[in-house]
Structure 1
């Protein structure tokens, strides 16, 4: 369905327009408004390069395109968003309306015009879309594969334990006192015989297959971890070098922020995006805040992991936690406060990263001083393996690197 173009008095060359796009897998529907909110026309286009070119030509036929609002720039609208951005068209992410707000029904033209009206009415409040390219996009696709592999490995462990619960005593007693790692390694090496011989043979055969699947998934996860470590060290060296930020947590926060973190207006907006901002819930004489259960839950998980690491190994975090507990805060309250503080820090590490000190000279400094890794680690209170990783640049840590350098260069 195409709405006929409304006659306007302004010439097309002088007319500013905004557009809205309702996205789908095989086709998009675009609607155009002028700056007074008048409907100029709408059209359906296929999700191909030719279709995107047709859409841009259609928009420019009305005049200067001020803004395009697109639903789902990270899903069905990703291709269109990349195309328009490459042609320097300003785009915004349209928030899909709730069902209760659809008083006029639902169809592709209705949704497209609603997106255009939202882009016209709220251009500054709409979020900028992620660019969906560059090294962060590489991290996103690898992280997606890793999550599915981890989920599959957890399912394998669950299935092994379930089979062992119902297995015969002859099989069960073999693995009663073995750790999970030992049991899986031994199960993968068993030779239970043909699965058609008996119930025990079929059970042993199933356990061996599951153990070998676990071993394969573990190898896949380790390979992905190495690739992610290299990409994350390139994309966010300042963040990965900060205490508590592991490879997966850093990768998760990078994906949440996107390839263009400057689109985030403030550290408060990033905290809200991560679901770490307290929400006011005051009424009358009651003044309180409640937990934010929205936002990106993967990013919230990453902040939680960083908070747990710092609570166990960072002295400043321990002191901060003690002050909060002295004021009557519970463990959950402490973690919420920590996640909010970490979100503030992560925002600045993403948007305004500080230069990272080089660590490739630490090994030469140690050799010139004539000390072993064991002695150096004992002197500064670290593990030898951790210093070795620091010297090789595998696990950056700005705080540890500063302390190590100070000890190596001390008179």
Structure 2
């Protein structure tokens, strides 16, 4: 059904009167003129498929695009009006619970707006669990994490006034170790965040080793510290490629896990997931009952209204790919990443810090010695060939080291990888020199 006012506005020509930046035009434009103006504003943006900086899904099938468009107006929080969308969310939570080896009869979870909301929910649960002990008045809670932890965890600590106890990066270890985790825990530690798939180098942290160290701490001191696994990327990779890896709810000390559907879950940006092993781990403190959308419903999320479309696509992907499809897709990405890392290593001037053997991510720095070129100059050169690659400094204890990160997603074929390598070789042939 069309709106008469909208039809009238659509027929109006674009205004030509000069106006202050950001001011609304006096009359609306036609739909085609407005769309064209938007495209002109965005024409300098790189194609997402060529953006090797991002973990986010950048291409989907035409059928998925149509589903996303069809269900974009559906509000996931309106559970009485859209019970089918609620059922798809429940099914996705159960699927993830199975992939992460949870007890299907007790696991609880929800869709979130990315892993950042999921992390804030997880941190809140950990904080409330600590406060429920009853002897915490006047004491300062702390959270243990590695220097590679996502900024969302630093946001949680600042917003909720929790002390972040950050294990520094080491020369050959850019993530949290079991010993570092244990050393930083005490009776005021609300939890340890272990990262399954670091954005810095693509590595998995040793979740089982950290759990074992905390088991020893509990046996020796009585200090009982739960683990949250930030599996933003690895949660959709490890179950398919590393089924023998013990990192999930098989470990009793793991209380909660989050993952990003919009990364290796193959859904466009805007979808995260969080699961707790049982309602006690989530704590009822997160629950708010609302009745103004129909029947009384419990809401556990930080956000409220949001589109059901990402959840619809997650369910679609589970059906479309199945276990074998996810495994084959991610296996191809890992094979491309490890091959790319090996080829870059053979060139000589690069030190490989992430070889794609965990997450399909390649991270490299320059080998020791003086060079007449920098990684930033190399990245600029790759930009002229259509590739966007990030250059960034490692965490503070290694901040003198710049690195390039290449995130391999399913869009990056072996042919694309060879084109990228050819561009790197072309740059080095003209820029590399004997170290001074």
Q: After TM superposition, is the score higher than 0.5? A: no
Provide the TM-score with structure 1 as the length reference: 0.24
Q: Which has the higher strand share?
A: 2
Larger-gyration structure (1/2) = 1
Q: Which has the higher helix share?
A: 1
Provide the TM-score with structure 2 as the length reference: 0.23
Between the two structures, name the one with larger relative contact order (CA 8 Å, sep ≥ 6): 2
